[in-house]
Amino acid sequence: MCGFLFYHKKNRNISLKEIKSIKKATNLILHRGPDYKRNLTFKKNFLFHCRLSIQDINPRSHQPMIKKFKKENYNLVYNGEIYNFKNIRKKIQNKISFKTKSDTEVLLNSYILNNYKNNLLDEYSGMFSFLVLKKSKNGEIFFARDRFGQKPLYYYDDSEKIIICSEIKPLISLSKNKLEVDKNVCKEYFLRNNYFYQRETFYKNIFQVLPGECGVIKKNQIYLKKYYLNLTSGKKKSFNKGNFFNQFKKNIINHTIADKKFAISLSSGLDSQSIAHVIFSHTKVNYDVMSYTIDFEGSNFEFEDARNFTKSYDKQIKKILVTKEFLINNFENFVIKNEGPIGGIMLVGMFKLAEQTKKDGYDILFSGFGLDECLGSYKSMRKSFLSGDKFSLIDSTNVDNSKYFNKSDDFRINEIIKKYFFKYRIPRSTHFMDRISMASSVEMRIPFLDHEFVEYATSLKQDFKKVDKYLVREYMKKNSKHSKDWMRSKQHVTHPQNQWLRNGKFSNFVNDIIKENYLYKNYEFLNKKKVLSAWNKFKNNETHNGYTFWQLINLFYLKKISKKIIKDNRIWI
C-alpha cells in the first residue's frame, strides 16, 4: 500500500521553484509509504511515489516503476493490491519480460500489452488506484480507481496545472486558491448524512475520481469514464449452500497473499469473526495472527465476546481501550487525517487500533466491512424493501404505486443494494478504512468488497423476512470452533457515544464548541438558538440521539482547519 502524486504543467516547463514546492507537498503523504520514496522529474511532468512494501519487498519493486517496451517508455505509480496478479502473470509472461515478483510489474506489463483498452481493468481483482505516464509524442497519461473505491484518488485542475494524488492535503498545499470548505457538501452531510460519495469533496475545487472510473489527460484536459457500472441485474439466482461456502472461504483465503504479517480487526459480530475463522483454520503462517478489539472506558462492550471467540482457536487478542480523554485530545487530529468528518466513536477506536497494529509489527489488517451490504442485512435495507416506494399527498395520504410495476421483487432489491454500494454506505466505509489504516502505515484489507464475491453474493435470492446473513450463519454454525447461537439475528451493539455526549468530560468539550459564535458565523445555515435548545433537551434526556451534535463538532473542526495557513507541513501529520 502506498501513496503517489502526479503534477502536470499545462503550458510551460516546471520551474525549479515549483519542484521545491512539490517535493515539500509530498511530505504530506509519507505516512502512506514509509519504506521508500522516489520522484521522477520531466519537463512538464513530475511523479512521486512512497512505498509501503507488502508484495515482493525487494528494492527491485520500488516505484515509480519504469519500463521500456518497443522503444516506448512507461512510468507507473500505483497504490493497492491486485490479488489475482499471479494468474494474470501466467497469461502474459510469454509476451513480455518480468524482472520482479510484484503485482506492480504485472499491472504495468498488462497495461502495456492492452494499451488501456476497455477490458484492461476487468482483469484486476483487488483494490487499486494508479497512473501511467507514457513518454511519447502524445505524452499519454492514464489513471484509474478500483470498482468500490477502496483506494482513493483526487485531482485538482486549474488554468496552469493538473495534480492527481492519493490524498487531498498535497492538493491543498499546491493549489492556487486559499483552502475553502465547500458549504454545499457540508449541508448535504448535515441534512442527510450523505458524504464521501459524490465528485465534490469537503474542499472547493478538489474532486475525487469516483469508484469504478478511469481517465486520461489529453491536450491538458481531464476526460473521465465509468468502466464499472452495475453490481448485478436481472433475476436473482437460487443458492447452493455448498457452493456459497466454497466461494466464501476461497475469497477470504485469496486476500491473505502477502510477504508481510497480517492481523484482524475483530468485533463481537458475525462478519469479522467469520473472516477470523477462515484465517485461523485455513491459512498457514509462521507467526501468531493477532486480533484487536475496541472497547470503551466504563464498561465491557465487545471485548469479552471477542476474547471468548479467540480462545476457542487458541489465538491471542488485545483490547484497544478508548477513553474520553483520548477522544478529546485527538478529535481535531483525526478530522485532519480523515480529510473530512469522523463517522462515529467506533472510528476513533479504529485509528487507535491501527496504530497499535503497526507498533506490534503487523503491516496488514483485515476488516469485516461490506458483508451487510452484500447480503442486505441492514434493518434500513429490509425496511426499504418491505415498505415499498411511497410518496405522500397534501392530505398526508401515502401512495404506493410500486405494486403495479411490471418489475419483480428482485429489481427492487437490486436497486436498494446499489444505493448502499454507491451512495449510502460503501463510499463512506472505504474512505474511513483507507484513512484510518494509512495514517499508521497499515494496509486495510476488506475481503467482502472483492468484486467477484460482491457480484456473486448480490445475485443470490434474498428473503428479507428471514434472519439476516443466513448463509454465513449456517457456515459458522457448521464450521466454527466457537460455540454460540450463530443463527441469532444481527444485534446492534450500543457504544457510549450518546452517553459521552450527554454527560462528563466529553460533553463539556462539546458544550464549549457548540456555544462558540465561530460555528454559526461560518455556517450561516445553522440557527444557534435552535441548536442550543436542542442541546439542552438532549442533555436533559428529552431526546434520545445526539448524533446532530457529533456532526456539529465535525463541522467546527473542518472550518477551523480550513482557516489555518499551512506554514509547515507538520500541521497535517
Half-sphere exposure of 560 (CA within 13 A, CB side): 19
* Residue partners of 418: CB distance under 8 A and separation at least 6: 230, 231
DSSP E strand boundaries for 401-498: 443-445
CA 391, chain centre distance (Å):
33
* Residue partners of 519: CB distance under 8 A and separation at least 6: 513, 526, 528, 552, 555, 556, 559
List phi, psi (to 5°) of 520.
Answer: -85, -25
Minimal CA–CA distance to 35: which of 14, 13, 59?
59
Residue 195 contacts residue 334 (beta carbons within 8 Å): no
Alpha-carbon span 457 to 437, nearest angstrom: 26
Q: Within 10 Å of residue 480's Cβ, how many Cβ atoms?
A: 20
Q: What does the pLDDT look like over 353-390, one tens digit per residue?
A: 999 999 999 999 999 999 988 887 665 565 565 555 66
Strand partners, 318: 292
Residue 304 contacts residue 317 (beta carbons within 8 Å): no
Q: What does the pLDDT look like over 44-57, one tens digit per residue?
A: 999 999 999 999 99
Q: Which residue has the cell 463510499?
A: 427
237: DSSP letter? B
Amino acid residing at 141: I
Residue 203 contacts residue 181 (beta carbons within 8 Å): yes
**Is 364 in a helix, a strand, or coil?**
strand
Minimal CA–CA distance to 469: which of 539, 399, 381?
381
Per-residue confidence (pLDDT) for residue 175, from 0 to 100? 86
- Reported as type and span, the H/E element at residue 567 is none
Residue 49 contacts residue 38 (beta carbons within 8 Å): yes
Alpha-carbon span 207 to 197, nearest angstrom: 11
φ/ψ bin of 534: left (φ > 0), alpha (ψ from -120 to 50), beta (otherwise) = alpha
Per-residue confidence (pLDDT) for residue 459, from 0 to 100? 85
Per-residue confidence (pLDDT) for residue 414, from 0 to 100? 74
* Residue partners of 82: CB distance under 8 A and separation at least 6: 88, 103, 106, 107, 124, 125, 126, 128
**Is 102 in a helix, a strand, or coil?**
coil
Per-residue confidence (pLDDT) for residue 116, from 0 to 100? 55
Q: What does the pLDDT look like over 445-485, one tens digit per residue?
A: 999 999 999 999 888 876 655 678 889 999 999 999 999 99
Does the CA dihedral 90-96-100-104 come out positive or negative?
A: negative
List phi, psi (to 5°) of 263.
Answer: -130, 180
List phi, psi (to 5°) of 78.
Answer: -150, 140
Alpha-carbon span 258 to 260, nearest angstrom: 5
Per-residue confidence (pLDDT) for residue 572, from 0 to 100? 44
Strand partners, 181: 203
Cis peptide before 64 (omega within 30 of 0): yes
440: DSSP letter? T
Residue 566 contacts residue 173 (beta carbons within 8 Å): yes
Write out the three cell numbers for 24: 515539500
Per-residue confidence (pLDDT) for residue 565, from 0 to 100? 37
Alpha-carbon span 163 to 207, nearest angstrom: 11
Per-residue confidence (pLDDT) for residue 326, from 0 to 100? 97
Alpha-carbon span 146 to 418, nearest angstrom: 16
Amino acid residing at 5: L
In the chain, what is the greatest distance between 2 CA atoms, to the nearest angstrom?
A: 74
* Residue partners of 464: CB distance under 8 A and separation at least 6: 376, 381, 382, 385, 386, 413
Per-residue confidence (pLDDT) for residue 405, from 0 to 100? 60
Write out the three cell numbers for 91: 497469461
Half-sphere exposure of 175 (CA within 13 A, CB side): 23
Per-residue confidence (pLDDT) for residue 377, from 0 to 100? 67
Alpha-carbon span 556 to 533, nearest angstrom: 18
Q: Which residue has the cell 512539490?
A: 22
Strand partners, 278: none
Minimal CA–CA distance to 239: which of 535, 474, 562?
474
- Reported as type and span, the H/E element at residue 246 is helix 241-254
Q: Which residues of the chain have pLDDT under 50?
A: 565-573
Cβ-defined contacts of 91-100 (< 8 Å, 24+): 96/69, 99/60, 100/56, 100/58, 100/60, 100/61
Alpha-carbon span 156 to 172, nearest angstrom: 9
Percent of the chain with pLDDT over 90: 74
Alpha-carbon span 410 to 395, nearest angstrom: 32
